[in-house]
Amino acid sequence: MDGPLVFAHRGSSYDLPEHTLAAYLRALDEGADGLECDVRLTRDGHLVCVHDRRLDRTSNGRGLVSARTLAELDALDFGSWHPGGVPADGDEVLDDTRTRLLTLERLLDAVLEAGRPVRLLVETKHPSRYGAHVERRLVELLRRYGLTEPRPDHPVQVTVMSFSALAVRRIRAFAPALPRVLLLEVLPRWLPPGRLPFGVRVAGPDVGLVRARPGLVPALRAAGNQVYVWTVNDPADLDLVLTVGVDGIITDRPAQTLSRLGR
């Protein structure tokens, strides 16, 4: 396949509530090459797919995700805050895939059931809050699924992403063959032009950074790195990243992106 990979950011999260199974299944139906997912730990050590530290924005719960057990989170509604989580008039089918909490394990099972190749980008959140646990738990889970190293015969390929250099280093220590992305919102002073640290081969810049620093992506790629850019929803941003040339596009609107790519 020519052109960049298209990843659905939190699923097809423009149309359906982010991080719900429905949003991920929609992205696969639309033809996304891969899925992006944020993970955090519950109080009892489960990896759940939730972006925010708090429950307030994306559920009917309040307070910290990390203060709740999985059973407590499972009792909450993670979909009705979003128009796509509410049945339209005449839509009698609203199963719990649009409102139920998604765990990483449930997502992996769904992706394996999809019966086609899927690239999964898993972003660990807040490594300092959870100590090494979030990365350790992630590697333990992926090991159970045989996903800690790229296997050509396996339909699911996992890459771990983080803004945190510490998290990226931990992943390298726990699972050296697991591909890693260093996410960049700003350019750290310590990062030499075009270079990535800790054996990372993929940079994940914010599209705003790509706009502000036109030389960044060419320098990274000239040095042999790949670039996955986020979150590309605006058509002008999509034109920009296609002009610059990137390896992956992370978007809330995979169908729109794929259509622009003629796929």
CA angle at 51 for the pair 12 and 15, rounded to the nearest 5° = 20
Residue nearest to ligand G3P (CB): 230
Q: How far is the CB of 71 from ligand G3P (least distance, A)?
A: 26
Query: Is residue 15 part of the contact set for Ca ion (CB under 5 A)?
Result: no
Which entry of 9, 19, 46, 82 is annotated as an active-site residue?
9
CA-nearest of 75, 97, 98 to 86 is 98
Q: Provide the strand spans (E) within 84-229.
A: 118-124, 156-162, 180-184, 202-205, 226-229
Q: Which H or E run includes 244?
A: helix 235-244
Among the listed ranges 32-40, 60-68, 107-115, 221-229, the one in contact with Ca ion (CB under 5 A) is 32-40
Query: Is residue 169 part of the contact set for ligand G3P (CB under 6 A)?
Result: no
CA-nearest of 232, 250, 240 to 212 is 240
* Options 30, 33, 36, 135; binder of ligand G3P; rule CB under 6 A: 36
Catalytic residue check, 82: no
List of residues 6+ apart from 113 with CB closer than 8 A: none
Structure tokens at 198: 């800790």
Query: Is residue 33 part of the contact set for ligand G3P (CB under 6 A)?
Result: no
- The pairing of beta strand 202-205 with beta strand 156-162: unpaired
Query: In this structure, are residues 58 and 18 in contact, taking their beta carbons and an 8 Å threshold?
Result: yes
Query: Is residue 33 part of the contact set for Ca ion (CB under 5 A)?
Result: no
What gap in Å lies between CA 23 and CA 57, rounded to an integer? 17
Q: How many residues bind ligand G3P (CB under 6 A)?
A: 10
List of residues 6+ apart from 134 with CB closer than 8 A: 39, 40, 41, 47, 124, 125, 126, 127, 167
* Options 18, 38, 135, 252; binder of Ca ion; rule CB under 5 A: 38
Which entry of 19, 46, 51, 82 is annotated as an active-site residue?
51
Q: Locate tokens 């169908």: which residue?
A: 255
Q: How many residues bind Ca ion (CB under 5 A)?
A: 2
Q: Which of residues 230-249 bind ligand G3P (CB under 6 A)?
A: 230-231
Query: Is residue 209 part of the contact set for ligand G3P (CB under 6 A)?
Result: no
Binding mask 81-120 for ligand G3P (x = CB under 6 A): ----------------------------------------
φ and ψ at residue 5, rounded to 5 degrees: -70, 145
Specify the residue, 53 or 263, whose C-beta has the smaller distance to ligand G3P: 53
Q: How far is the CB of 246 from ligand G3P (least distance, A)?
A: 13
CA-nearest of 168, 167, 3, 21 to 85 is 21
Query: Is residue 250 part of the contact set for ligand G3P (CB under 6 A)?
Result: yes
Specify the residue, 144 or 248, whose C-beta has the smaller distance to ligand G3P: 248
Query: Is residue 18 part of the contact set for ligand G3P (CB under 6 A)?
Result: no
State the Rg of the chain over Cα: 18
In the complex, which residues of this chain contact ligand G3P (CB under 6 A)?
Answer: 9, 36, 38, 51, 123, 183, 204, 230-231, 250
Residue numbers annotated as active site: 9, 51
In the complex, which residues of this chain contact Ca ion (CB under 5 A)?
Answer: 38, 123
